[in-house]
Structure formats: structure tokens, C-alpha cells
């Protein structure tokens, strides 16, 4: 295995390369300019390659130095990021949610969270990717699925899966609510990645006569399209509770599509959870109970 260069030399080279100046590097590292210059010379001797050209008013990379600095800077960034994830920050909680859950439930409820827990720095990772508690450094996650989720996780039920058909009042003004099977069949339909319309219509013994509807990658986009009057969407009831309460959207049929893919808040199982994480869990459960 090739012997690694001295760490002090690498640090001096990294900082000197950012400033292209030994004095500025010395100021950042709180050592003398001579110490920085010596550490860089020792690194160059170890590598057998000059990394800088010494100029009257600073430094310039050699071709090898520029390439080497890009790799060294990236390595130090990786070390800093790994250390940051390892070091606990009191009051910081990172939660992984889907973009739809973030846009349609979590963000609208954040003012209440901030009012009750101003001391907690809640950070949101909104992604369709299944985040890892270990490699992504998350503390909590909202998942749609069916228990068990694994022996290492505690699962708290937030919302049952209750999918309903919604649209703006204007879209169904002529038919009235609830819409007839014939009217529902003819309505333009908004499809998301879950593609639940075929199952919903089959449960009602209705054929779709509206033709191809707008297809979107996320449920939140389908809700936005429904709010703009472009068609009827299928969505979990809790995600549009505010829109239903305000009358911006209507549930256009009484039928509900139920499933086993309910919404859970997941946390790693520990003998004692951190106070900040415990407070976030309690807030989620209380808020979900209020808004169900």
C-alpha cells in the first residue's frame, strides 16, 4: 500500500491552493507563513512533484498541482461532511418525506410546529428515494407502507390510506355532487405515479369514457392541476383536508378506495430517544390526530 503523504502537508496545500497565497493560508490555519511554506515543500518532496510555482505576488498551480488539489479538496470536503453527520447537533432533527407529503401536509403545518418548538431545527429531506437512516443520517422518516418495517425501527401510524376523488366546484357545477356514474366516467382525470383511477373506476363498475387524461409524476402536481380546474384527482383525504374545508375542492363521490399502504412515522429504535426527536414525534402524532 502506498504510504499516504503527511496530513499537515495536505492541509497546508489544500488551504494554500484555495487562496494561492501562503500568508492567507497561514492566517486561516493560525500558523506562521514559514510553517505553511515548509509543509508544502515537504509534501512536494514526498511526492517528487512541484505543486506550485512561486511568484513574486503569490502562487500559481503547476498542471500536476491543479489536478492534485481538486482531489485533495474533494477528500477534505468528504471528511468534513462525514464528521458533520457523525457529530450530534442538539436541537437538530432531519426528517425524510416524499415531496407530496412535504408540500401538501408538512409545510402547511410548519407554522404550528415553529410556535410550539422554536428551539428545534427541523430539517426536511423531500425525496422520492427511500432514504437510509444510516447512510443519509436521517432521524425520522414518513413512509407509506405496511408493517412490519424492521426490528430496528419504531413505527407510529399517522394516517390511514383513504383515497377520494376530488375536483373544483366549477368542474362539477352542472352535474352536482355526488356526481353520477355517467358524469364521473366523462370527467377529465388527472393521473399520478400511483395510477389509481383504473382500480377506483372498477370498484364502481364504471368505464372511463373521458379518454387519456393528464399524467403527472407526483400526487402534489395532480392536486395542483385539480385546483386549477384541469380535472378530477385521486388523493389521500388528509393531503387535501384544508382544501376540502375551504371549499376549494369537493369530494365528488362518496366512495373511498382503502388500502393497506398507510402512512407511518418511523424512527430508529433506541433505549432513550433524544429530547428533540421525541418532541418531533409527539408533535407529528398530535397534529395528525387533530387533522385526520
| 203 contacts 255 by C-beta, under 8 angstroms | yes
The DSSP symbol for 156 reads E
Phi-psi group of 88: left, alpha or beta (phi > 0 → left; psi -120 to 50 → alpha; rest → beta): beta
The list of the chain residues with pLDDT below 70 reads 1-2, 85-89, 291-292
What pLDDT score does 208 carry? 84
Kindly tell me the sign of the dihedral angle through the C-alpha atoms of 10, 14, 17, 19: negative
d(CA 222, CA 239): 12
Nearest to 40 by CA among 28, 57, 52: 52
Q: For 27-75, write each residue's pLDDT tens digit.
A: 989 999 999 999 999 999 999 999 999 999 899 999 999 999 999 999 9
This prediction has a pTM of 0.69
In sequence order, what are the beta bridge partners of 92? 121
Which residue's entry shows cell 384527482? 233
Identify the three-state secondary structure at position 99: helix
Identify the three-state secondary structure at position 68: helix
What pLDDT score does 82 carry? 79
**Sequence-separated (6 or more) residues with CB below 8 Å from residue 238:** 105, 159, 162, 263, 288, 291, 292
Domains of the chain and CATH, by start:
7-86 (1.10.10.10), 92-161+261-291 (3.40.190.10), 162-258 (3.40.190.10)
Nearest to 253 by CA among 191, 170, 166, 133: 166
Q: For 179-211, write each residue's pLDDT tens digit.
A: 999 999 999 999 999 999 999 999 999 888 877
Amino acid at each position: 500500500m502506498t504510504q499516504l503523504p503527511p496530513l499537515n502537508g495536505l492541509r497546508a496545500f489544500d488551504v494554500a491552493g484555495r487562496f494561492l497565497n501562503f500568508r492567507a493560508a497561514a492566517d486561516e490555519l493560525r500558523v506562521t507563513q514559514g510553517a505553511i511554506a515548509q509543509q508544502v515543500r515537504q509534501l512536494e518532496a514526498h511526492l517528487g512533484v512541484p505543486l506550485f510555482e512561486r511568484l513574486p505576488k503569490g502562487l500559481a498551480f503547476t498542471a500536476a498541482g491543479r489536478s492534485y488539489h481538486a482531489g485533495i479538496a474533494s477528500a477534505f470536503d468528504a471528511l468534513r461532511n462525514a464528521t458533520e453527520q457523525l457529530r450530534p447537533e442538539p436541537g437538530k432533527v432531519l426528517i425524510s418525506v416524499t415531496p407530496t407529503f412535504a408540500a401538501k401536509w408538512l409545510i402547511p403545518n410548519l407554522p404550528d410546529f415553529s410556535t410550539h418548538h422554536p428551539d428545534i431545527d427541523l430539517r426536511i429531506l423531500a425525496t422520492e428515494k427511500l432514504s437510509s437512516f444510516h447512510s443519509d443520517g436521517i432521524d425520522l422518516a414518513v413512509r407509506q407502507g405496511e408493517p412490519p418495517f424492521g426490528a430496528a425501527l419504531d413505527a407510529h401510524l399517522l394516517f390511514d390510506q383513504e383515497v377520494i376523488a376530488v375536483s373544483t366546484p366549477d368542474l362539477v357545477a352542472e352535474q352536482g355532487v355526488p356526481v353520477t356514474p355517467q358524469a364521473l366516467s366523462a370527467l377529465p382525470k388527472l393521473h399520478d405515479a400511483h395510477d389509481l383511477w383504473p382500480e377506483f373506476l372498477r370498484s364502481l363498475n364504471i368505464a372511463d369514457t373521458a379518454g387519456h387524461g393528464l399524467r403527472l409524476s407526483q400526487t402534489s402536481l395532480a392536486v395542483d392541476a385539480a385546483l386549477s380546474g384541469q380535472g378530477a384527482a385521486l388523493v389521500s383525504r388528509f393531503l387535501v383536508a384544508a382544501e376540502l374545508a375551504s371549499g376549494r375542492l369537493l369530494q365528488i363521490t362518496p366512495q373511498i378506495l382503502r388500502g393497506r399502504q398507510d402512512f407511518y412515522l418511523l424512527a430508529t429504535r433506541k433505549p432513550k430517544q433524544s429530547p428533540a426527536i421525541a418532541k418531533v414525534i409527539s408533535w407529528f402524532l398530535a397534529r395528525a390526530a387533530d387533522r385526520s
